[in-house]
Amino acid sequence: MRTRHFSSSNPVPSPLDKARGRPTHQPVLLHEVVRALDIQPDDILVDATLGGAGHAKELSKGLGGNGLFIGLDADRDAIARAEMRLSGAHARVSLLHGNFRNMVNELAKLGVVSITKTLFDLGWSSYQLDSGRGFSFKADEPLLMTYGSGDEGELTAATIVNTWGEESLADIFYGFGGERYSRRIAKALVERRKKKPFETSRDLAETIAAATPARYRHGRIHPATRTFQALRIAVNDELAALTEGLQAAWQLLKPRGRIAVISFHSVEDRLVKRMFAQWEKNSEGKLLSKKPIIPSRQEEQENPRARSAKLRVIEKISISHESPHTKNKQIRPLDFSGEA
């Protein structure tokens, strides 16, 4: 059952992207994220997933001269893009190349031991799709699927599909991708690699498609979509990293600080939902929306990649550290009902 829709802004594409003729990156649920985090001038804001820096640019506008914006990304290219997009920010800006699972240590390098707001956008940008690392099943690219450069010794998608056992492959395709034909696909990959190892994303995608029924190949999404998703999650250890990243952000978060997470598939969303629910059950936090916030139909039409997005937001509470005035102050749930 779908949760109710909320209106969303139509972000303006970067002029730089238009000039280069490349697909523009549109941040998903931008308006809703801005409302949910309610940035104050002196906030210490962490964007744990810079990506195309669309959210970063808009959120940083709410910070004043005493505010601090910290951006993290495992992709060095994302850091370079953010430097350009945030060049006019009024607040102090620090951009760090690193994984959000190491947030505590990364922020310690800046002398930062507490934060007030943080965003995790778990989608991947059009820049990553065009990075040449094998994320696209429509291109003939090296089969890496790493957020880094695929340095020697780093786990890659090629290593997984060419060396892992058939049962292990089926398990990750089903567990991380929800692929109904996981066993059939795993068997086809093992049989094919006996003749020739997989080297490119297109080669892999074609083999996956051939292993599925004809009706599946002509469905709404490409038949390799879920398998590619599962491989990306496995290569980058995304679920463990997300768990550790959320725990790190919660550790750093001040009372009345907020965490917002945008997820794009059920595996991630389930993890976020359970962690948030546990914090609320333990009287450590308060959900600002009982149901996930999803894009409006207009945003889905203008930005198809937004279709599966879900936004969850939690505010931290800490009775032992609150004054009587703060303790009695109720946390108001997010309300978008007055918007078109």
User: Are 115 and 243 in a shared domain?
Assistant: yes
Q: Is the pTM higher than 0.75?
A: yes
Strand bridging mode 115-121 / 44-47 = parallel
Alpha-helical (H) ranges within 8-73 are: 15-20, 30-37, 54-60
Q: What is the CATH number of the domain that holds 225?
A: 1.10.150.170
The pLDDT assigned to 338 comes to 41
Distance CA 238, CA 196 (A): 29
User: Are 21 and 120 in a shared domain?
Assistant: yes
Q: What is the DSSP string of 206-266?
A: HHHHHTS-HHHHTSSS-TTHHHHHHHHHHHTTHHHHHHHHHHHHHHHEEEEEEEEEEE-SH
Last residue of a domain, one of 201, 235, 269: 235
Per-residue pLDDT 10s for the chain (340 aa) are 233 333 333 333 333 344 444 445 689 999 999 999 999 999 999 999 998 899 999 999 999 999 999 999 988 888 999 999 999 899 999 999 999 999 999 999 999 999 999 999 998 766 666 677 788 888 889 999 988 655 557 899 999 999 999 999 999 999 999 999 999 999 999 999 999 999 999 999 999 999 999 999 988 889 999 999 999 999 999 999 999 999 999 999 999 999 999 999 999 999 999 999 999 999 999 999 989 999 999 999 998 888 899 999 999 996 544 444 444 445 555 654 444 3
The pLDDT assigned to 126 comes to 64
User: Are 116 and 250 in a shared domain?
Assistant: yes
User: Are 246 and 212 in a shared domain?
Assistant: no
Distance CA 177, CA 159 (A): 18
Helix (H, G, I), strand (E, B) or coil at 268: helix
Distance CA 126, CA 131 (A): 9
- Which residues on neighbouring strands pair with residue 68, listed in sequence order? 44, 92
* DSSP category for residue 311: E
Last residue of a domain, one of 235, 265, 289: 235
User: Are 105 and 163 in a shared domain?
Assistant: no
Range of the domain at 302: 15-127+239-327
* DSSP category for residue 151: -
Count of structural domains, the chain: 2
